[in-house]
Structure 1
Amino acid sequence: MKLKYVLLTLLVGLVFTSCSKDSDSDATKNAEPDEINDFVWKAMNSWYYWQPKVANLSDSKIASTNNYANFINGKTPDVLFYSLLYQRGTVDRFSWIENSNEVVYASKIAEVKKNGGFNYGLYPKDLNNVNFVALINYVVPDSPAALAGLKRGDVITKINGKQLTASNYDQLEDTQVTLTLAASVGFVSTGLVTTDKAGTVNVTQADIDENPVAYYEKKVYGSKNIGYLVYNSFKSDYNDELNAAFAKMQSDGINELVLDLRYNGGGSLETAIALAQMINGSNTSKPYIYLDFNDKHNSEDGFEYLTDKVNVYNLVDNEPTFEREESINSLSLPKIYVLVSFETASASELTIQCLKKYIDVVTIGDETVGKFVGSITLYDSPEYDYASYANRSTKHKWQLQPITFAYYNKDKDVNPTKITPNHDINPYLVFNNLVEFGNVKDPCLKKALELITGQTLSSKTQSAERISFRNNNLASFNSTNAAKGLYIEDFKNLKK
């Protein structure tokens, strides 16, 4: 089955841990494979990118039905799945499994989903990596968080009355939360010191279809007409809004662009390709990204090409439905400035790595996640090589999201572990300095504008120079990336 009929996804987020335990079982002489575990093993054997490196996924494992059954039986599906990962937590940081009868959210290129409407990053308060604070990166307009009074730059110290820690931060994603905010944030030699505001803020989740084109502003410095665009997710149901933003920049005479991808965990590859053309536009029909699968699916290897058209979709029954095709509005820029952070991943990293083969890309901020592999969602549909949701077994709800391919730029260069920015900004410097989008108090935006204009811009940025530690595990505690990724789609199998 060709993957052009299958939804592929590059998922950014936390490695989900299982709370289930192996259970003891007696091997029987004529054991029969457990039906669900048989699906888990065979789907992984077929598609898992590192299948040749995992001894327990070897084809020889299935040579003896009895031995195979004794191996896979006696485990819950999630325990079996995680036991099959290649160097879990180091090499494979992203594969996961879930027990749900819905289409895996991570494999949807566009959706309305329940959330509180605030995006945040998690920061250790000290070297112990136990106590944390959550910095609100932005708030979705008219969302429950906005109505509750939360704003960009607010710092969450407690959740439901308890100090935010590595053990309870996931409660920030609960249906209803009570938040305590910091009245002040200070720096000492080894971390952060906060004092709390009186009172709390309650946020209840609602259905939100977030517009990822979060902010645009034209800034003029002499002959420099600088566009500042905040883009928070490559959502294909907002392709027309993204294209319209570039039409506006065309009419504004933009000749320099600051693209803010600090909070962008990924999205549609089709949209990422369109964005590259909107920025430059002179490389139509040229290769942009190369996909590499395991040896069992070498026929799926190949290039995705740049195009001067973009598809426009609408959500129907929470699925992207093709409406029309638009010509891409391009700025024809030979150089751009991209703001990045430890939350920048997947399609955002692809944009940097692939676009820089055609134009000059200057990065500013903090190291990115480092996600240059991807996945397809696997279902219990063996006759369709485990890739069909419509033809899945309805006897259970288990679905897999294993890494199934790696991706590269057009020259197939070896990818870095993470993208290290050209101009490094201490991630803790954002505390006390994040106000509304576009304010030059923002240290990353300030640096970009200074590079473009050659001027030193005056602002009242508060310094974090006294903080002596730099935590390299910030991204691993950022749960906001969990539902984002890179998706490669062909909509022949969807409603038109």
Structure 2
Amino acid sequence: MKLKYVLLALLVGLAFTSCSKDSDADSDSNETVVPDEINDFVWKAMNSWYYWQSDVDDLSDSKITSGNKYANFINGKTPDALFYSLLYQRGTVDRFSWIENSNEVVNVSKIAEVKKSSGFSYGIYPKDFNNVNLVALINYVVPDSPAALAGLKRGDVITKINGAQLTASNYNQLEDTQVTLTLAASVGFISTGMVTTNKAGTVTLSQTDIDENPVAYYEKKVYGSKNIAYLVYNSFKSDYNDELNAAFAKMQSDGINELVLDLRYNGGGSLETAVALAQMINGSFTNKPYVYLDFNDKHNSNDGFENLSDKVKVYNLVDNEPTFQRDESINSLALTKIYVLVSFETASASELTVQCLKKYISVITIGNETVGKFVGSNTLYDDPVSNYTSSTNKSTKHQWQLQPITFTYFNKDKDKNPDEITPNHDINPYEIFSDSVEFGNVNDPYLKKALELITGQTLRTNTQNTNISLSFRNNNLASFNPTNAAKGLYIENFKNLKK
């Protein structure tokens, strides 16, 4: 059963329009047309680094041979409109590139960041076959965030936003700086769809600056000789590398010999952190190739392997950028098999973990089909001297920066990537509505399946029967097909990338 959903913690594929029409024609006068400074940065950075540069006619090197033609071409658009016009088959092949202005953020997703947020992650589900009326299921709530202080919790279901039924046309308002939410009192299923009743009253949230710890939950579970770690990891954020390493030190002291790694809500992040995580899980393959990066033809010198290391870099945030502090020795578990929980929100660095790690150890996946994002990016700044890769000396005249796809990746054997990762053990995502319990509770159908595979036992749980119609589940899931977004895979310290 093919599942396609939308993750709304982050949005890509936004529509932009040009402020005025452009022209490829030469200026009618003999006067030299001066290229717009910001758009000149956008075009030249994309011409240099965009992974599909050779497939986009408007990024051809020949475009810049005639000064006036080039200037007329780039001057007729806003920076964002120009950027999105240069993407290769936007929305189908390239679903993930974006541009942002720090004063008007289009999309926030980096390797380390403080970001504006109300403090809750959620997934969107259709209520019926029409895919118009929707609900948002809260995946988790960040401790001490506005959402936590308002009493929201994992498993809450949002039915209305700002007093209106949540629909395909207004769900993006969940990312507004202030929202008023209506929650479901009950959720049920009939043959044609989902039925909800609403709680009295509403919850109003305002965004604030949050530096979310992605190491969201750890618990040791003991079943006979099995010391099982359950770790919820929600983003590959390099400013929390030390916390991730500390979690594995705790596992060492707990005598862990089995691991359930929950990546259901992890849309990606730092390549460097993803490589370090693999070493924490096993640790026996130091200096062996882990992931192969492939850039466009202009940057073949950057192609190559990232190898496993016994050290992890520790960063602090300085002006919202990761700043290197020190190296730490990696704490490794020497595991030869792990169980990974995945979902329609699992992407990029999380998918890399599955695809690349399984070349060294057994990786058993449980859940739903993943996003299928086997590409990555590095941030491009307006600094031609560094070939747009350094923020240190970037222009201070504006705050635009680019996050285009600049590379694709493969496992150590350079195997062709699938469209998405199909789990070894499928879980119907609608089951979570009856059993969306707090992290670690064995009523969680995903965790329950992992524990049963590890122990060889059938676990008795206090699950509820929601009587979900099989025809509704199959038909609705197959037909629901909105844009699927993800955080991505990013490279920090690009100039130090291994060649």
- C-alpha separation in 2, matches of 1:70 and 1:492: 33
- C-alpha separation in 2, matches of 1:237 and 1:454: 38
Query: 1:472 and 1:402, CA in 2 relative to 1: closer, same or farther beyond 3 A?
Result: farther
Aligned-partner residue type, residue 21 of structure 1: S
SS at match of 2:477: coil
The answer to whether the Cα contact below 8 Å between 1:121 and 1:478 also exists between their aligned partners in 2 is no
Aligned-partner residue type, residue 489 of structure 2: L
For 2:444, which of 438, 442, 463 is the aligned residue?
442
How far the C-alpha of 1:485 sits from its partner, in A, is: 2.7
For 1:297, which of 280, 299, 308 is the aligned residue?
299
Match of 1:99 in 2: 101
For 2:17, which of 17, 20, 44 is the aligned residue?
20
Match of 1:126 in 2: 128
- C-alpha separation in 2, matches of 1:211 and 1:24: 45
Match of 1:369 in 2: 371
- C-alpha separation in 2, matches of 1:363 and 1:330: 21
> Cα deviation per residue 1:38-84 (whole Å; 9 max; x = unaligned)?
22222211111111111221122222223323333322222222221
Match of 1:278 in 2: 280
How far the C-alpha of 1:223 sits from its partner, in A, is: 1.7
SS at match of 1:263: coil
Match of 1:453 in 2: 455
Q: How does 1:277-356 map to 2 (within 5 A)?
A: 277-356=279-358
The answer to whether the Cα contact below 8 Å between 1:258 and 1:338 also exists between their aligned partners in 2 is yes
The answer to whether the Cα contact below 8 Å between 1:217 and 1:438 also exists between their aligned partners in 2 is yes
Aligned-partner residue type, residue 179 of structure 1: L
Aligned-partner residue type, residue 193 of structure 2: G
Match of 1:8 in 2: none
Match of 2:493 in 1: 490
How far the C-alpha of 1:245 sits from its partner, in A, is: 1.4
Unaligned regions of 5+ residues in structure 2, if any? Answer: 1-8
For 2:477, which of 450, 468, 471 is the aligned residue?
471
Match of 2:6 in 1: none
Aligned-partner residue type, residue 471 of structure 1: L
How far the C-alpha of 1:472 sits from its partner, in A, is: 5.5
SS at match of 1:450: helix
How far the C-alpha of 1:359 sits from its partner, in A, is: 0.2
Aligned-partner residue type, residue 23 of structure 1: S
Count of residue pairs brought into register by the alignment: 479
Aligned-partner residue type, residue 74 of structure 2: I
Query: 1:221 and 1:474, CA in 2 relative to 1: closer, same or farther beyond 3 A?
Result: farther
Aligned-partner residue type, residue 160 of structure 2: K
SS at match of 2:62: helix
- C-alpha separation in 1, matches of 2:130 and 2:280: 44
- C-alpha separation in 2, matches of 1:107 and 1:133: 24
Query: 1:40 and 1:490, CA in 2 relative to 1: closer, same or farther beyond 3 A?
Result: closer
- C-alpha separation in 2, matches of 1:307 and 1:219: 29
- C-alpha separation in 2, matches of 1:223 and 1:171: 49
User: Larger deviation: 62-71 or 306-315?
Assistant: 62-71
How far the C-alpha of 1:476 sits from its partner, in A, is: 4.8
Matched, 1:49 2:55: no
Q: How does 1:389-400 map to 2 (within 5 A)?
A: 389-400=391-402
The answer to whether the Cα contact below 8 Å between 2:124 and 2:134 also exists between their aligned partners in 1 is yes
User: RMSD of the TM alignment (CA)?
Assistant: 2.3
Query: 1:84 and 1:321, CA in 2 relative to 1: closer, same or farther beyond 3 A?
Result: closer
Query: 1:492 and 1:17, CA in 2 relative to 1: closer, same or farther beyond 3 A?
Result: closer
Query: 1:56 and 1:490, CA in 2 relative to 1: closer, same or farther beyond 3 A?
Result: closer
How does the TM-score come out when normalised to structure 1?
0.91
The answer to whether the Cα contact below 8 Å between 1:366 and 1:425 also exists between their aligned partners in 2 is yes
Unaligned regions of 5+ residues in structure 1, if any? Answer: 1-11
Query: 1:61 and 1:316, CA in 2 relative to 1: closer, same or farther beyond 3 A?
Result: closer
The answer to whether the Cα contact below 8 Å between 1:379 and 1:398 also exists between their aligned partners in 2 is yes
Query: 1:90 and 1:305, CA in 2 relative to 1: closer, same or farther beyond 3 A?
Result: same
How far the C-alpha of 1:452 sits from its partner, in A, is: 1.0
- C-alpha separation in 2, matches of 1:319 and 1:25: 36
Query: 1:274 and 1:148, CA in 2 relative to 1: closer, same or farther beyond 3 A?
Result: same
How far the C-alpha of 1:393 sits from its partner, in A, is: 2.7
How far the C-alpha of 1:427 sits from its partner, in A, is: 1.4
User: Larger deviation: 188-197 or 410-419?
Assistant: 188-197
How far the C-alpha of 1:129 sits from its partner, in A, is: 1.9
Aligned-partner residue type, residue 38 of structure 1: D
> Cα deviation per residue 1:121-172 (whole Å; 9 max; x = unaligned)?
1112122222211100111112111111111100000111111112221221
Query: 1:316 and 1:251, CA in 2 relative to 1: closer, same or farther beyond 3 A?
Result: same
User: Larger deviation: 167-176 or 310-319?
Assistant: 310-319
SS at match of 2:230: strand
Q: How does 1:234-273 map to 2 (within 5 A)?
A: 234-273=236-275
Query: 1:54 and 1:419, CA in 2 relative to 1: closer, same or farther beyond 3 A?
Result: same
- C-alpha separation in 1, matches of 2:46 and 2:149: 44
- C-alpha separation in 2, matches of 1:316 and 1:474: 42
Query: 1:165 and 1:460, CA in 2 relative to 1: closer, same or farther beyond 3 A?
Result: same
Match of 1:116 in 2: 118
- C-alpha separation in 2, matches of 1:20 and 1:248: 51
